[in-house]
A = this chain, B = another copy of it.
Amino acid sequence: MRSYGQYCALAKALDVVGDRWTLLIIRELLLRGPSRYTDLRNGLPGIATNLLADRLRELERAEIVAREDAPPPVASTLFRLTPRGEGLRPVLDELGRWGVPYMTEGPAPRDEFRSRWLAWPAEAFLVDGEPAQPPVAIEVRAGDDEPMVIETRAGSVESHPGRAGHPDAVLTGTPHAILGLLSGRFDLARARALGLEYEGDPRVLRRFRHGAPADTAKAAAGTSASR
């Protein structure tokens, strides 16, 4: 991207990650860990393939992304974030938090959705409301044939793709209904009215509460400037 030509930390940051699609590519790499080109493309509906290749090259030059050749069993190229790239997590957290109000009305007519995107709000915004109780796991099916597991883990909430062995609850429905229910904007009755199917004990939902975001990453991100 063309530089803003301003001696300002914000402008310098935008010189590097201000291009279109760049921060969304970082999002995918944060959500998925080391990823193949094709998987990135799949998690970024709407991106042109040449643009993805261009951005990955630029991010590699900026030492935000590293390319590694996976070991023989897979024998494919993997893209992963460097520590500098991981340092963008607090930026995406804050920007995503600011964008939450734009989600409450539900998706626009042509909006795409990927279940993996649920992992970010779950881990960034939810905490285990009853840490002393045994852990629970819920399975979420949001329509793209890739179920997600959201579970309490030592007081916090974690999420990963896949099926749960013995889920305490299973949620099936639109992203809008699922997000509304988990965020506490909808109660179960309201979510059901929006088409959500809920199997399991409703009390499981009480385990997932809003909490202060995990700020541990923030303190670590400011170290490079202190001598």
A residues whose Cβ falls under 8 Å from a Cβ of B: 3-16, 18, 20, 23-24, 27, 45-46, 87-88, 90-104, 107-108, 110-114, 117, 120-121, 125, 175-176, 183-185, 210, 212-213, 215, 218-219, 221-222, 224-227
Contacts and interface: CB of A to CB of B under 8 A. Distances in A.
A12 B98 CA distance: 9
Contact of A100 (B9, B99, B121): B9
Given A46-B4, A113-B7, A97 B222 contact: yes
Contact of A102 (B9, B24, B87, B215): B9
The oligomer's copy count stands at: 2
Given A45-B5, A98-B91, A113-B7, A103 B226 contact: no
A14 B25 CA distance: 13
B6 A111 contact: yes
A11 B23 CA distance: 9
A100 B111 CA distance: 35
A40 to B, nearest CB: 14
Contacts of A20: 18
Chain A interface secondary structure, helix, strand, loop or mixed? helix
A129 to B, nearest CB: 13
Given A102-B9, A103-B7, A212 B219 contact: yes
Contact of A121 (B9, B117, B175, B227): B9
Contacts of A27: 8, 10
Given A7-B108, A9-B99, 17 more contacts: A8-B96, A10-B24, A10-B99, A11-B99, A13-B98, A14-B23, A14-B95, A15-B102, A16-B102, A90-B97, A90-B98, A91-B91, A91-B95, A97-B221, A125-B222, A184-B225, A210-B226
A7 B111 contact: yes
Given A23-B14, A117-B8, A175-B7, A94 B100 contact: no
Given A5-B112, A7-B175, A94-B90, A101 B212 contact: no
Contacts of A110: 5
